[in-house]
Amino acid sequence: MITPIERPDDRTLVLERVLDAPRTAVWRCWSEPDLLMRWHCPKPWQVTAAEMDLRPGGRFNTVMEGPDGERIENTGSFLQVEPGRHLTFTDAYSEGFVPSGSHFMTGFVTLEEAGEGRTRMSWGARHPSVETTRQHLEMGFEAGWNAATDQLEELAASLPRPLGADPLFRAKARTCLFLPHGALEAAEFYCGLLPDSGIDQVYRPDPNGPPLVVEFTLAGTPYMAMNGAPPSAPSHAVSISILTEDQGETDRLWHALCADGGEGGKCGWLRDRFGLHWQIVPKALPRLMHAGDPQAAGRVSAALMAMGKIDIAGLEAAFEASGSQTA
């Protein structure tokens, strides 16, 4: 079955599919040359060479060959790279943002969690003209990209686990979040908040029943969530501490985790709607606590004690109250 393409405007073509493979595996198929060569064009065509330097301005060069001796060399570069989630690439520039003599398209792919180890992939192309868009359609964009996506899904689903990995539990040490219910819903919500996050495994004792254990990665750290806890099980004794880059990230996470029944506390602590406790801590707090003399640290600590959501400007004002300067 061919999934119809979307045309958000007269120069853009987009194919959106939900793949039965984890996002980490799909990302590997996009970001590792040896894997890209195994799926990136529909058979009987094949990719016979691929060079990738996964950074903005890095090269993205491929060679495609057809069954009758056809050969297409594609020279381009990456414009955007968000590990695990997004790529933008173009033939308008070669490596180092050197302009090319011609331009056919700028491609992009976005990967999102789709639940239970599946991935929602949006794969598209933006063209310099309406005529170029028409040419791409006539070349078989819809059927060709669907066929390539089928190949990608099959490859991603087949990738082996790392050596030594258990069929369910991959990490030797991990934090278990014991919840009364909603373990999968909670894990998916948390993974949507931070990069380098995703659902790894879902275990159901009854294949047609609800999940019991969900193994997931949150900002690169392994966790598992388990259903069946007494209603009062989560407490302040265990919390997830997130170190944020700035006030914007602090505000975003605080408001998202407090929404729909969550509750803010003091000094950056909060309880989310699933009953779990978090600490949302800007990097500015430890920096200021260690940057000055004990008196400055004391002022910062006193300011913190009066806060719910941590306010970086307030901490900095307390630090500088007697003329101290940050490092």
**Which residue has better confidence, 202 or 17?**
17
Residue 165 lies in a domain: no
Give the pLDDT band (50/70/90) at residue 67: very high
SS (H, E, C) 57-123: CCEEEEEEECCCCCEEEECCEEEEEECCCEEEEECCEECCCEECCCCCCEEEEEEEEEECCEEEEEE
- Examine residue 163 and state whether it is found in any structural domain, yes or no: no
Q: Do residue 240 and residue 227 come from a single domain?
A: no
Which strand (E) or helix (H) includes residue 230?
none
Average pLDDT over residues 285-297: 88
Domain for residue 166, yes or no? no
Percent residues over pLDDT 70 in the chain: 94
Q: Is the pLDDT of residue 303 over 80?
A: yes
- Whether 151 and 270 map to the same domain: the answer is no
Same domain, 206 and 265: no
The answer to whether the CB of 272 falls within 8 A of the CB of 265 is: no
Q: Are residues 275 and 298 in the same domain?
A: yes
Cα distance between residue 51 and residue 57, in whole Å: 13
- Rounded to a whole number, what is the distance in angstroms from the first to the last CA of the chain? 60
Domain count, the chain: 3
Q: Is the same domain home to 53 and 180?
A: no
Asked if 224 and 267 sit in the same domain, the reply is no
Whether residue 327 is predicted with pLDDT greater than 60 in this model: the reply is no
What Cα–Cα distance (Å) separates residue 87 from each residue in 58, 74, 147? Answer: 12, 17, 20
Least Cα distance to 81 among 54, 45, 47, 53 occurs for 54
Q: Over range 250-263, report the average pLDDT.
A: 96
- Sheet hosting strand 71-74, strand order edge to edge: 46-52, 60-65, 71-74
Q: Are residues 34 and 135 in the same domain?
A: yes
- Spatial contact of 28 and 38, defined as CB atoms under 8 Å apart: no
Domain assignment of residue 213, yes or no: yes
**Pair (17, 53) in one structural domain:** yes
The token pair that represents 159 in the structure block:
């990738």
Q: What pLDDT sits at residue 96?
A: 94
The pLDDT of residue 170: 56
Q: List the CATH number of the domain containing 97.
A: 3.30.530.20
83 and 188 share one domain: no
Residues 102 and 27 in one domain: yes
206's CB contacts (< 8 A; 6+ apart) are: none
Domain contains 296: yes
Band of pLDDT at residue 171, cut at 50, 70 and 90: low
Of residues 199 and 226, more confidence is placed in 226
Domain boundary among 184, 211, 233: 233
Say if CB 274 and CB 181 are below 8 A apart.
Answer: no
167-176, 243-252, 260-269: lowest mean pLDDT where? 167-176
HSE at residue 211, side-chain half, CA atoms within 13 A, is 24
Q: Which domain holds residue 146?
A: 6-158
- As given in the structure block, the two tokens for residue 49 are 């060479």
Where would I find the H helices in the chain?
23-31, 33-36, 130-138, 141-158, 183-191, 247-258, 284-291, 294-305, 312-319
CATH of the domain at 297: 3.10.180.10
Residues 273 and 318 in one domain: yes
Assess if residue 167 is contained within a domain: no
For residue 70, tell me if it sits in a domain: yes
136, 158, 180 — which closes off a domain? Answer: 158
**pTM exceeding 0.85:** no
**Buried b or exposed e, range 146-185, using 16+ CB within 10 angstroms:** bbbbbbbbebbeeeeeeeeeeeeebeeeeeebbbeebbbb
Question: What average pLDDT is seen over the chain?
Answer: 89
Continuous segment of H or E residues that includes residue 241: strand 239-244
164 within some domain: no
pLDDT band at 1 (very low <50, low <70, confident <90, very high): low
Does one domain contain both 205 and 246? no
Would you place residue 321 in the very low, low, confident or very high pLDDT band (cuts 50, 70, 90)? confident
For residue 44, whether the previous peptide bond is cis, meaning omega lies within 30 degrees of 0, is yes
Residue 18 has pLDDT above 90, yes or no: yes
Give the pLDDT of residue 205.
Answer: 84
79-93, 228-242, 250-264, 287-301: range with lowest mean pLDDT: 228-242
11: confidence class by pLDDT, cuts 50, 70, 90: very high
Given 233, 255, 277, the domain boundary residue is: 233
